[in-house]
Structure 1
C-alpha cells in the first residue's frame, strides 16, 4: 500500500493551563494499551476532496478534544501541547465490497498505522490517538483508529466521533460536548495507590499464550426475540441473553476439550458503564474510563441452564458495588447491529472454537461471519 502521513493539529491552540491532562483513579485501573477500531464508508466520486474535508473537520474537533492531539507524558498524565494527531492515508489496490462480503480479520491489521499488538504499550512521547484512512479503488474508505486506553475509553471515543461527524456536516458542537474533567473531579488520581489493587497495570501476566482466532457471530433481532420468548426472559436485556448464551457455549466447549479433568469453576467479567448507574448519573459525554468490571462465577457449569445463566449475568451486573476487578484471557465484544440484533466479536483459544460453533444454541441463533453488506 502507498502511505502518506501528516500531523493534524487543533484549529485553535490549547490554553496553557490545560496542557497537562491528569487521568482519574478509574483510568489508573485501565491497562495502558492501544485499542483498535475500524469504520467503513461507501465510495465517493472524489476522495481527495473528502479526505481534505475530514482533515479540516478533524482539526476543528481536536480544539475541543485536545488530549487526542497530545502524547503520553507518564503513567498518570498526557502532554496536550498540540503536538498533532498522526493522520495516515493509504491506497488499497482492491474493492471494499470484496472485503466486506467475506471479512478476513487477519487482513484488518494492515489497515492500522502499525500492526496491532496487545503487548505494545504506549510509552512517554507516543501519540494518544492515530488515524489511518485506507482508500480503496472503488472510492470506499476503511478508517482505522488506535487510541491509548488509559487516556480515553470507548464511550469517550464515541463522543469524539459524533462530534467529528457533526463538524463534518457543518452542525457544530450541538450534538456532543465533552466533559473532560468529570472523571478527574469525581475520582481524583492517587499516585500512591497500591499496585496490588490495580492488576491491569501488570496485565501482561494475565495474557494467555497459544493460538487464538477472531470469530464473528451475528444474532439477528428475530432470533433474539424468539430466544427470549423461549426462555421467558422478557425482563432480561438483549445483551444479558447473548452474553449468557456465548458464556454457556464456551463453557461447554471447554468442558468437551478438557474431558476427564477435574471440573473447575468459570469466571466471566463484563465492563459496565458507570455513567447511568451513578447517583446522580453522569452525563453520557463525560470523558474518561468511567467503567467498572464486575465478576460473575459459575461453580457448576454442567448444571446451569441458559435461563439460569441469564439471571446470573443480570444479577452480576446489578451488584457492581460488591465486585472485584479481574482479568480473563478469552474476550467477546458485543455490538449493536442495524436491525436491533447483536454482533459478537470473539477472540477464542483455537482449541475451543470447533466445540463452541457446533453447539446447537450457536447453530440455531447465530450466523457465523456473514457478509457485512
Structure 2
C-alpha cells in the first residue's frame, strides 16, 4: 500500500494519519430497476444534510504481523460491506433532489489509513482534536456521498473504524441497525434485514414552504469535552433530586439536568449577566413511542424533539429541571405523539417546525440533547473482538449534549460541545466536578 496523503491533529498529542488506500465499494448485487428511486420520508426531508461521525476503537490482543493482519481485516470489512450495501442500497447512491435518492450503485468510499501512535497513547488522554483526524478530510468530503468508512491501523496493531453517515437518511438508531447488519454479515449471517419502507409509508414526502428544521451552526470555534458520571455519583444526584420530586428520576434526567444547569451558570459567568430564557431540546425515538410501535430496524429519521424551558436564574435548580423534563416527556407522549398518527399529522409537523424556527431565530439560550444510553454501541464485533470505546466528534453545532453508557453499563458518559470560550468556564464548574470526572483515562 502506498501513502497518498498525511494529516496531523492540532491537539497537544501530535498524531499523523496517512491515507494508504481508497477503495470504492459497490453493492455485491445490482439494485433492481424498480428500487432505483428511493423516496425519503418527510422527516428525512427536514433533516440536515451533514454527516455524523462515529469512531470505534479495537485493541490488538495478539502479536501477529500487524500489516498482514490489517490487510486481512480490511478485506473482510470490504467484502462484507459490499454485501451489506445490497441490503442498504440507498447508501450506495446519491441525493437526487430534496425527496429522493438515486440508487445507482455508485458505491461508498472505504479508506485505509495508518497512524504513528498507539491506541493506549491516545486513550490515556482522549482528545477530540486528535479524534478529528479520523474524520473525512477536505478532499474526502468533496467525494463524500451518503456514507464513508475509514479503517485505521495503529502502531501497536490496534484498529479503529470510523463510520461517517449522513443525517439526511439516518438517525442514531439507523446507524445501530447498519452496524448490526454489517457485523452479522461479517459473521456469515444475512438474516438481519433493514426496514426501508416503514418511514416513508408513515410520513410520505410532501412539498412545503421553504422552512428548514436544520440547526444553526456556530460561527465561533467550538470544542467538546468528555465527562464520566459513575453509578455512585448518579445515585447521589438522584437522592438529591428525590427530596422534592414525587417520582424516581432516571440517570439520564439527573445527569442532563446537572449539565444544563452548570452550562447556564457558566453562561452567566462568561457574559456577566443572567439569561432570561433557556430551552433544552430533547430528541425522542418515535419507534418505541408510537402505538403500534415502529420496527426497531426501520431506517430513517424517526425522531422528534420536545422542549423544556426555564425562565431565569431563579428557576435553575436541578430538581425543578428534572420535574420539567418529566412533564415535557409525558405531555409529548400523551398528546403530541398521537398527532403523528392522525390525519392532520402534516399540519402538526409544520406547526412544530415553525415553532422551532422561531426558537432558532430568537435570543434564547438553546441546548440540544440526545441520549444513546441502552444502545449496544460497544457490541459491534467484526470478528476480532468488541471495541473498547467509541466516540462521536461534533464539529458543526454548539450547545449540544450527547449521553451514552459507560463500559460497565451503569454510569453515563457525556460528550458536551460548547463555544470554546464558554467551555473554558464550564469544565471548571465545581458543582459539575463534584459529580463528574473530566476526561479520565480509558482502560484497555
- TM-score for both structures, normalised by structure 1: 0.90
- Pick one of 328, 333, 346 that aligns with 2:402: 333
Deviation string, structure 1 residues 34-84 (Cα, Å, up to 9, x no partner)? 111111111263121111111111112111111122222222211112111
How much has 1:116 moved relative to structure 2? Answer: 11
- 2: CA distance, partners of 1:307 / 1:116: 48
Structure 1: state its 5+ residue gaps. none
Are positions 1:188 and 2:199 aligned together?
no
- 2: CA distance, partners of 1:343 / 1:185: 35
- 2: CA distance, partners of 1:116 / 1:235: 50
Are positions 1:293 and 2:305 aligned together?
yes
- 1: CA distance, partners of 2:92 / 2:431: 45
Are positions 1:314 and 2:326 aligned together?
yes
Are positions 1:366 and 2:430 aligned together?
no
How much has 1:126 moved relative to structure 2? Answer: 4.9
Structure 2: state its 5+ residue gaps. 1-17, 337-351, 361-365, 367-397
Deviation string, structure 1 residues 117-151 (Cα, Å, up to 9, x no partner)? 9xx8x8xx851100111111211111111111112
- Pick one of 67, 71, 95 that aligns with 2:94: 71
Q: How does 1:1-373 map to 2 (within 5 A)?
A: 1-43=18-60, 45=64, 46-115=69-138, 126-173=144-191, 176-190=192-206, 192-196=207-211, 198-200=212-214, 203=215, 206-232=216-242, 235-259=248-272, 261=273, 263-320=275-332, 324-325=355-356, 326-327=359-360, 328=366, 329-339=398-408, 340-373=410-443
Aligned length: 359
- 1: CA distance, partners of 2:138 / 2:402: 20
Counterpart of 1:195 in 2: which secondary structure? coil
Deviation string, structure 1 residues 303-352 (Cα, Å, up to 9, x no partner)? 33211111111222233355643554411111112222111111112222
Contact in 1 for aligned 2:241/2:249 (Cα 8 Å) = no
Q: Indicate how the Cα distance of structure 1 residues 6 and 147 shifts in structure 2: closer, same or farther if over 3 A, else same.
A: same
Contact in 1 for aligned 2:274/2:313 (Cα 8 Å) = no
How much has 1:262 moved relative to structure 2? Answer: 5.9
- 1: CA distance, partners of 2:435 / 2:202: 42
Q: Indicate how the Cα distance of structure 1 residues 229 and 89 shifts in structure 2: closer, same or farther if over 3 A, else same.
A: same
More deviation, 320-329/288-297: 320-329
How much has 1:280 moved relative to structure 2? Answer: 1.2
Contact in 2 for aligned 1:72/1:126 (Cα 8 Å) = no
Contact in 2 for aligned 1:109/1:115 (Cα 8 Å) = no
How much has 1:229 moved relative to structure 2? Answer: 2.1
